[in-house]
Structure 1
Amino acid sequence: MARRVSASTLRRVLNVWPPFLFAGIRVRAVSGDFRHARVELRQCWYNRNFVGTHFGGSLFAMTDPFWMIMTMQALGDGYIVWDKAATIDFIKPGRGMVSAEFDLGDDVLGQIRDATAGGDKYLHWFETDVTDTGGDVVARVRKQVYVRRKRPGGGN
């Protein structure tokens, strides 16, 4: 069963979740319908790498749970949703404050619902850019999410 929480509770919990808290990742917004989220990462002494730029693991971590959680919450209890795969491409050195935005559109949700209507699994790739304050792309993260309708009677 999907864990149902309010968007404000999710934002508060993620902001004190140790992988985010100790990396300096802050969830700034999660919309009430789970269709939008914004995350920021300010560069500090504890999240810099050897050459003084953002640690790549922190750039990836700031994007990690959002597509799965947003899809799960938007679809509701009738679906199984899991992260399946991920890639990250580092485009340029990240310095200072960086951010990522997540927008889950009706078109994507419709595509997922259509593809899973017969009980089949569906794998969807989401793409997120991590940008600096100048709007330049620092990293591009792709996340593949597995979705399937739950079987009637509780057997999944």
Structure 2
Amino acid sequence: MAGTPLHRMLGRPRAFELLSRVYPPLLGAGIRVRAISHDWTRGELTLRVFPWTANHNGTAFGGALFSATDVLYGTMLAGQLGGGFTVATKEAHIRFLRPGRGRLHYTVELPATEADHVRSQLETEPGVDMHHHATLYDDDGRQVVVAEHVLRVRRKA
């Protein structure tokens, strides 16, 4: 298990949700995990652009937008798989469609069947690449960012 308190909370969704709200990289970017379901199948976050988190244009930093698309899916997959696996972003592509202003929203739906599929693939393969699409929306329901992440999942030695 990873060494930070946040990573040690992977087995407990409510603890992860609460601790992530004060985790410096997320807090500093204006990202707040709003909810994680008890079985790691649904998660919600918001990214709020405050004057102290905005760039010189008054919009969200690109890195904060990327972080918002990156944090939930991998964490939820790792939570569903349990402690015997590593889940890490291998690559990602992001498209910025419009400036991020105000409050942005992101929801992840991760059916348990995806984790089951990964477990079955890892019985014969050393690693599995999982593709995930993430979209951040503004309060008016418009797409702000669309990202595709490839996560590498492996069994721990």
Q: TM-score, normalised by structure 2?
A: 0.86
Secondary structure in 1 aligned to 2:144? strand
Matches within 5 A, 1:90-129: 90-129=96-135
**Distance in 2 between residues matched to 1:14 and 1:63, nearest whole Å:** 15
Percentage of identical aligned residues: 33
**Distance in 1 between residues matched to 2:20 and 2:87, nearest whole Å:** 19
Contact map agreement 2:87 2:152 (CA 8 A) in 1: yes
TM-superposition CA deviations, 1:57-114 (whole Å, max 9, x none): 1111223222221111101233332221222110112211101111111342233223
Bigger drift between 13-22 and 99-108 goes to 99-108
The alignment's C-alpha RMSD in Å is: 1.8
Secondary structure in 2 aligned to 1:102? strand
**Distance in 1 between residues matched to 2:101 and 2:125, nearest whole Å:** 45
Matched, 1:78 2:73: no
Matched, 1:19 2:21: no
Q: TM-score, normalised by structure 1?
A: 0.86
Contact map agreement 1:23 1:46 (CA 8 A) in 2: no
Rg comparison, structure with higher value: 1
**Distance in 1 between residues matched to 2:51 and 2:126, nearest whole Å:** 47
Aligned residues: 151
CA shift for structure 1 position 137: 0.7
Contact map agreement 1:81 1:147 (CA 8 A) in 2: yes
Matched, 1:145 2:151: yes
Q: Structure 2: any 5+ residue segments left out of the alignment?
A: 3-7
Bigger drift between 140-149 and 97-106 goes to 140-149
Letter in 1 for 2:46: E
Matched, 1:61 2:74: no
